[in-house]
Amino acid sequence: MEDYKSVIPMQEGKRHVIAAAWHITKALVASDHLTDDLRKILTDLDSHLSAMPAILESEGVDFAEFERQLKHAEEDIMSWETNQAMAWDSGTEEAPKYVKFIDEILTLIESLRSLSNEHGKAKELLHRADRVLQLAMSWLEEELVHLLVQNKQFFEPEYMSFRSCGADVTYDESFTSVEEDTEEAPKRNSTGSESEEYVVDLVHPHVIPRLKSIANVMFASNYGQEFCQAFINTRKEGLDEYLVILRMEKFSIEDILKMEWKNLNYEIKKWTWVMKIIVKVYLASEKRLCEQIFGDNGSVSTTCFTETSKASMAYLLNFGEAVAMGTPQPEKLFRLLDMYEVLDDLLMDVDALYSEESGSDFRIEFHELFSKLGDFIEATFAEFGNAIASSTSTSPFPGGGIHPLTRYVMNYIKTLTEYVDTLNMLFKDQNVEDSNSGFELENGQEIPMTYLLRSITSTLEANLINRSRLYKDVALQHVFLLNNFHYIVEKVKGSKLGQFFGDTWIRQHIAKVQQHATSYERATWSSALKLLINNGNSMSKTTFKERSRSFSIAFEEVYKNQTGWCISDPQLREDLQISTSQKVIHAYRTFIGRNSANDSDKHSKYPVEDLQNYLLDLLQGSPRTLQHTRRK
């Protein structure tokens, strides 16, 4: 195809000259001052000139040129069909051949169109040229899809393999199998920094110029609609595929509402993970891809982006809606907080991605879901408090050890400290309402969080006190509270919780523990110790015998009961044993010593050393008895 551009002015010019000559001739013929000869010549010329356009056409000189070029183009396009490599895969640097080709076809079509009203031949050629253009366009459309599919790239984050991480605090209602607290605080997926502003190439960069030129050419040829449809559908398929790679499954709302917590927990973790990758990385990159290809054609770029992403985004949104429709249950709180934090983090991105009018519904829906989740978290938190308050039992917890509820609540609130900023934000208003709730706050504490945590531990303490009343033995009541309160204090001291509860609280609670220890000792030993004391004087032999026997019985009783009880913390147990030992052994030794005249060795059943050893068996949680040692 050579340039027809030079052909056209020549042809046009010729026609104009002929038309002008004809007009002049006509005017001359019509004038009155002509000789007959001259009039005859002019009349002949007039008829010649009037026939000229028809002659020009029938001569077909210029059309032959058009036709030659068209034929060439038709051959070209046929060769594309059969030999793909020729037009495309050879070299990427030079401007693709098709750009020039289409350019020429378009010029040809334009020329023919302007002639087609007067010339049947032009009409026919235009028809052929349109056909060539259509062939080229459908070819380009396939090329577009081919390029998009073959050069598709998926973002693989370092944390691509989804691990089911994130805090889990389990509470077994049966109270039987509660895992010992995992001391290393469960690390939350703090992927925030990793995916920040992470725009990647979703299509290999080396084909971007080609995609762009296809877009330009197709839009210039008025085939923009085809381009958009092919682009949107292929990219949408890419996004679907990516979600499959991320193992995002589709669930109906009914499925989600009926899902067991274990599975839903997993799906929510995946959702928060997927949301971050999709919004921060994938969609940000998709948007850039659209901008790269459509350049300054902003509205097309926006439409394509929105159309590509909306179905998947709608699904992700509906998943959130479905979760927020569920019943508030304490175990959900951490996942809800995760979702809330993810949305909090993503709202700005969503606003930016869908900043145009067409995306306004999306923006609003995301903001609404965000606030819905906030409300749901508040309800769930309240439910957590209710659950603690209403967790009651009719039988005492065996052995007086640390109740699973205590472990559960403390691990639960320990995990809550990971969400301190979010919780402070969410419960900002609630704190104002309850500011006169009697908690004195120390400087620098996070106000709402402190209030929340303390209200939970007060509820727990009240619950434990109620539970302690189930024990008939007062000493065991104190062992139970001692164990549990000590656990609470240790948990607070040994974690971030300390900074929310403050030193005053910790001191007060250590004092409470101490108080229960003292009360325990008193409840256990006071009556037995009374037997050993006799105002510093020696007693009569019968009294001594009587008291010694009573003491042995009392001691055996304590031994029988309290070897089965348990103080879980070894340090606490040791402290208590030392303290007991100091009081009991000291009194016993004095008792024996003072009454040595009464043949004490014979009448006292237990030597001091034995007694000391027996004391070490107490509160170990393995029931024993001293019965068999009586009177060998």
Partner 1 sequence: MRATDNQGSFLNRISIRRNQVVSMDGNHEQELEDIELFQKHVSDRFSDLLSPSDDTSADALLSISWLRKLLDVFLCCEAEFKAIMIMGRDASLISKPPLDRLFHELLDRNVKTLDVCNAVHHGVDAVRHFQKLAEIVVSALEQRPIGEGQVRRAKRALNSLITAMALEDKDGTGNKSTERAWSFGRRGGSGAVNKDRNPGQFRAISWNMAKGWSASKQIQAMSSNLVAPRGGETLALPVYISSTVMVFVMWALVAAIPCQERSGLASHYSVPRQLSWAQPMVGLQEKIAEEWKKKEKKGCSGLLEEIQKMEKLVQSLSEFAESFQFPAEPERLEEVANQVAELAETCKRMEEGLFPLQQQLREVFHRVVRSRAEILEALEQGGKSSTPIM
Provide the binding-site residues for partner 1, judged by CB under 8 A. 81-82, 84, 116, 123, 126-135, 137-138, 141-142, 144-146, 149, 222-223, 225-226, 228-231, 233-234, 236-237, 239-240, 243, 249-255, 257, 310-312, 314-315, 318, 321, 325, 361, 365
Considering beta carbons, is residue 67 or 461 the nearer one to partner 1?
67
User: Under a CB-based contact definition with an 8 Å cutoff, are residues 453 and 500 in contact?
Assistant: yes
* Cβ atoms within 10 Å, residue 109: 18
As measured in angstroms, the least distance from the Cβ of 576 to partner 1 is 44
Give the max Cα distance, the chain.
181
As measured in angstroms, the least distance from the Cβ of 330 to partner 1 is 17
Considering beta carbons, is residue 221 or 483 the nearer one to partner 1?
221
As measured in angstroms, the least distance from the Cβ of 147 to partner 1 is 11
HSE-CB for 114 with a 13 A CA cutoff: 9
Rg (CA), the chain: 46
Considering beta carbons, is residue 234 or 562 the nearer one to partner 1?
234
Cα distance between residue 254 and residue 269, in whole Å: 19
As measured in angstroms, the least distance from the Cβ of 266 to partner 1 is 16
As measured in angstroms, the least distance from the Cβ of 88 to partner 1 is 10
User: Under a CB-based contact definition with an 8 Å cutoff, are residues 504 and 440 in contact?
Assistant: yes
Considering beta carbons, is residue 158 or 254 the nearer one to partner 1?
254
Amino acid sitting at position 128: R
As measured in angstroms, the least distance from the Cβ of 76 to partner 1 is 16
As measured in angstroms, the least distance from the Cβ of 392 to partner 1 is 17
As measured in angstroms, the least distance from the Cβ of 270 to partner 1 is 15
Considering beta carbons, is residue 289 or 402 the nearer one to partner 1?
289
Tokens at 336, concatenated: 């809800």
Amino acid sitting at position 104: E
Tokens at 185, concatenated: 């605080």
Cα distance between residue 236 and residue 231, in whole Å: 8
Considering beta carbons, is residue 188 or 236 the nearer one to partner 1?
236
Considering beta carbons, is residue 137 or 453 the nearer one to partner 1?
137
Angle CA(278)–CA(281)–CA(282) in degrees, nearest 5? Answer: 55
As measured in angstroms, the least distance from the Cβ of 240 to partner 1 is 5
User: Under a CB-based contact definition with an 8 Å cutoff, are residues 340 and 373 in contact?
Assistant: yes
Tokens at 43, concatenated: 């009349």
DSSP 8-state symbol, 187: P
As measured in angstroms, the least distance from the Cβ of 351 to partner 1 is 19
Considering beta carbons, is residue 168 or 226 the nearer one to partner 1?
226
As measured in angstroms, the least distance from the Cβ of 488 to partner 1 is 31
Considering beta carbons, is residue 353 or 464 the nearer one to partner 1?
353
Long-range Cβ contact pairs of 530-538 (< 8 A, separation 24 or more) = 532/587, 532/588, 532/590, 532/591, 533/587, 533/591, 534/594, 536/594, 537/594, 538/594, 538/595, 538/597, 538/598
Question: Which of these, 101, 268, 262, 279, lies nearest to 189 by C-alpha position?
Answer: 268
Angle CA(543)–CA(545)–CA(547) in degrees, nearest 5? Answer: 65
* Cβ atoms within 10 Å, residue 197: 8
Considering beta carbons, is residue 339 or 402 the nearer one to partner 1?
339
Residue that has been written with the tokens 């004809």 in this structure: 22
Point out which residues pair with 23 in neighbouring strands. Answer: none
Considering beta carbons, is residue 75 or 158 the nearer one to partner 1?
75
